[in-house]
Amino acid sequence: MLKMRDGRSVYRALFTLAIPISLQNLITFAVGFADNLMVGTLGDTAISAVYMGTQVQTFLTMMIGGLSGAMLILIAQYWGKRDLTSIRRIAAIALRAGLCIGLLLTIASLFFTRPILYLLTPDKAVVEAAVPYLQITGCSCLFFSLSQIFIAMMRGVENARIGMFISAEALVINVTLNYVFIFGFLGVIPAMGITGAAIATLISRIFEAGAAAWYVLRREEVLRWRFSHLFVPCGVLVRDFVRYGGPVMAGDLVWSVNTFCQSMVVGRLMDEAIAAASIMNQMNNLMYVWISGLSAAVGILTGMLVGGGETEKIRPYARLVQRMFLLVGGFSCAAILLLRGPFLSLYSITEETSAIAYQLMGLLSVTIIGTCYQAACLAGLVKAGGDTSFVFKNDTIFVFGVVLPSSFLALSLGAPAWVVMACLKCDQILKCLVAVVKINRFNWMKNVTREPAA
């Protein structure tokens, strides 16, 4: 177990976990960015089609992220007690749920393709271009669910590197196949455009799932998890998973609905604004690579401290985390302002699209500061500390009470793209006010573990 005696040891512990997680996030970002960038050479409609076509994948990512987050809260605290039997059973519960979610979204992507896309945008050209992309990438949902649950399971027991290595290999496969299938290869493989990008994504997801399963089942020596654990009765742990993990999953469901509705808002802007929003989203994902890596590390260490009964260390630890993430936010703001020009130069887009994207990145540079602080406080400390219901309630109020009403109102009034996007991002700043009060009351530490299972 990592020792945290002073500020320096806390930083060491955080970065020991955060670096491989952030590198894995960077690799995952690079896979999506490779799709976006190569498809970007095909024009604004192609970028918009891929943006809309990836929304089911985004929904899946958030749902599996919520499931993994729920699993990690319990695993991290049981890992603090070294209760491996309970950890295996918790992982089995998460994997069962993840495979069910993946199967449902695969069916939806294959058989309800156009209804889903027309919910997002009325633009027929964008919808028709996105149909094959969504149908093919939809087949990867099961594989994605499997790989992400396995990788999160390893993170929970402080083995964060394996996810980085597996994702790196998947990146190489994805980028190589993207180039081959999008643009064609030596006349042997025809240029397939958007469809080629989808095929490359599917193949890389299959590889990623296979590699993760092979490592967990054949090489991992701490948990010794096996597929037979899927059929072991989990009894009271299922109730604990629902009780403590349910608000986490519900919170991510709220965010999934929020993301889907935001896509509906963006999809009703002009084509140039949709493409600009897609490009801004890539910059946001790039910045979030290290923010989410650090936040995940904070969550793991918080869970270990609470589960191990070391609550006396929480106060200085929480104050250090708050200071650190304000600095991270300032650095991220400066990075966006410095990089937005060179970043836009990578795309083959119209001047109007470039101008809108430049504005949206300026807005992002402000909201990213709030994202850094509230993500670390609410997800890394409060949620991982056991008070999962507070974060769910907070997210629900902001999404349905502030973000969606204001953005739909701005859209109906014909506001420019940056105003609509400001409404979609305003919660990232407003939630900081809630976070600073909640964190510094220190009433969020809850040990959710039981005595070692028989």
pLDDT at 366: 92
Low pLDDT (below 70) residues in the chain: 1-7, 160, 267, 270-271, 307-311, 447-454
pLDDT at 243: 79
pLDDT at 454: 45
- Residues contacting 97, CB < 8 A, separation 6+: 67
8 A C-beta contact, residue 425 and residue 284 = no
Which phi and psi (to 5°) does residue 346 adopt?
A: -75, -15
CA neighbor of 298 nearest in space, from 13, 102, 5 = 13
pLDDT at 135: 93
pLDDT at 3: 55
pLDDT at 99: 92
8 A C-beta contact, residue 425 and residue 367 = yes
Query: Residue 123 has which token pair?
Result: 């633009």
pLDDT at 5: 56
- Residues contacting 414, CB < 8 A, separation 6+: none
User: Cα–Cα distance between 172 and 209 in angstroms, integer?
Assistant: 15
User: Cα–Cα distance between 15 and 9 in angstroms, integer?
Assistant: 10
Give the position of tokens 């039997």. 85
> What pTM was computed for the model?
0.69
**Cα distances (angstroms) measured from residue 419 to each of 51, 267, 441:** 20, 15, 35
Q: Give the 3-state secondary structure of residue 60.
A: helix
189: β partners: 185
User: Cα–Cα distance between 360 and 269 in angstroms, integer?
Assistant: 14
- Residues contacting 78, CB < 8 A, separation 6+: 86, 87, 90, 307, 449
119-148 per-position pLDDT tens digit = 877 888 888 888 999 999 999 999 999 998
pLDDT at 139: 93
The CB density around residue 280, as the number of other CB atoms within 10 Å, is: 28
The conformation of residue 245, written as its DSSP 8-state character, comes to I
